[in-house]
Amino acid sequence: MEELYEELLGIKELQVNQVIVSSARIEVYGESKLAESYCPCCLKKCNFVKQTYTRKVRDLSISGKAVYLYLTTRQYVCKDCNRHFYEQLGFVDKKESVTIRYAQRLYDLCLGIELQYVVVRENLCWQTVNRIFQSYASKQVRERKAFEKVKRLGIDEIALKKGHKDYVAVVVDLDTGQILDLLEDRSKAYLIRYFKAKGEVFCGQIELFCSDMWEGYLNAAKDVFPNATLVADRFHFFTYLQKAVDQSRKYFRRKYKEQAELKSVKWLLLKNPQQLSPPQKQQLQELFDFPAYGLLKASYEAKNEFRDFLEQDITKAQAEAKIQVWLEKIQANRFMNDFVKFYTTWKDYILNYFQGRYSTGIIEGINNKIKSIKRRAFGFSNFDNFKARVQTAF
């Protein structure tokens, strides 16, 4: 039976001496077939054994039964340099309690699911599973060299805790959609140190940087990316125009509290007109037929006209000219005053959108997946664990 299990295990250097099979596990007692080892100090062969101890190691399951290897491990003494050392086995790392192939299997199981599920399924302690996952995840992230060919960079944030607390920044390659890193600090000073640490070559290769209007992002990018076009994300700056429309709705809602046509229209006013159903379009038309709501109608039409600019295939110069005419048209609409001031402040970054039409929209989808990772884990108390989970998920 020992020969059979040697063949089943497929570990060439392992000599199986005894096998005990129970209903839930298989215990294999064995030792290395090698009669000598190399001294780690002088690299000479050693065959003098001072003592031995039994090492318990978990391996891949066989027929649904957990396999435990009880390995007689020898301590050698080098006669040349008097170095005492234990033999190293090729199929298990030093001081590890699972074989290399089983560790890889555990890591694969952890991808996409909560670690606790793997703990229960494999009947292991959480610390072991977490240690293996962190080790393999860190190695994978180090070896991918994701920053080398990045040309267009996007950054957005997500709240690490419920209630919009402890924001972390998500750095993404806008061309590939790959998460490059998660940053625990999103301040300007930290971002400048972080990107400069990547080197001048990296900073010089960035051609476009896109983010929301958080000054820490754009100001840091201005300092570290000399060749980059800085773009304000269209979905974030368009939100300010949506707010102007909603402020108009709220004004008339307060003024005409009893008017039924003003109720339940918020999302109809904010929604893309092309996505409205015929009944919804009819509902808005009936609302705008009332002359008293002229400013609300004007705000709604101004919002949609600006949206059309974003969808049109026009250059930056053409967009600037169209928006200038649009600004003159809405100057009498008091509900648009805040957006006009906002546009004036961020004009260059907003217009840069028309050079390539890049946005952080892809990051919004990524953030939704990150939120699902948080929900599965019921939150993360350790940022490094959270970061590893996210990076390996993508």
Q: Mind listing the pLDDT tens digit for each residue in 346-394?
A: 999 999 999 989 888 888 788 888 877 777 765 566 777 788 888 887 7
Percent of the chain with pLDDT over 70: 97
Yes or no: say if 335 and 299 are a contact pair by the CB < 8 Å rule: yes
Q: What is the CATH number of domain 152-233+359-382?
A: 3.30.420.10
- Please give the pLDDT value at position 290: 92
pLDDT band at 305 (very low <50, low <70, confident <90, very high): very high
Mean pLDDT to the nearest integer, 281-297: 93
- Please give the pLDDT value at position 287: 93
CB atoms within 10 A of CB 162: 9
Above 60 in pLDDT, residue 164? no
Name the one residue in this structure whose structure tokens are 């060439």. 12
pLDDT band at 248 (very low <50, low <70, confident <90, very high): very high
* 3-state SS, residue 308: helix
Cα dist from 238 to 167, 214, 270, 284, whole Å:
22, 15, 11, 21
- Please give the pLDDT value at position 267: 93
- 123-132 pLDDT, tens digit each: 999 899 989 9
DSSP 98: B
Above 90 in pLDDT, residue 337? yes
Q: Are strands 165-173 and 179-183 parallel, antiparallel or unpaired?
A: antiparallel
- 35-87 pLDDT, tens digit each: 888 888 888 888 888 999 999 999 999 988 999 999 999 999 998 888 898 88
- Which range (17-21, 35-39, 322-326) has the least confidence? 35-39
Yes or no: say if 84 and 75 are a contact pair by the CB < 8 Å rule: yes
Q: Provide the residue ranges of all domains of the chain, joining segments of one domain with +.
A: 2-97, 101-143, 152-233+359-382, 234-354
Mean pLDDT to the nearest integer, 101-115: 90
Average predicted confidence (pLDDT) for the chain: 89
- Which range (143-147, 200-204, 311-315, 316-320) has the least confidence? 143-147
- The percent helix, strand, coil of the chain (3-state, each to 5) is 50, 20, 30
Mean pLDDT to the nearest integer, 267-292: 93
Mean pLDDT to the nearest integer, 11-18: 91
- Please give the pLDDT value at position 390: 82
Above 70 in pLDDT, residue 162? no
Residues β-bridged to residue 161: 165
d(CA 302, CA 352): 21
In 3D, which of 208, 226, 227 has the Cα closest to residue 155? 208
pTM: predicted TM-score of the whole model, two decimal places: 0.75
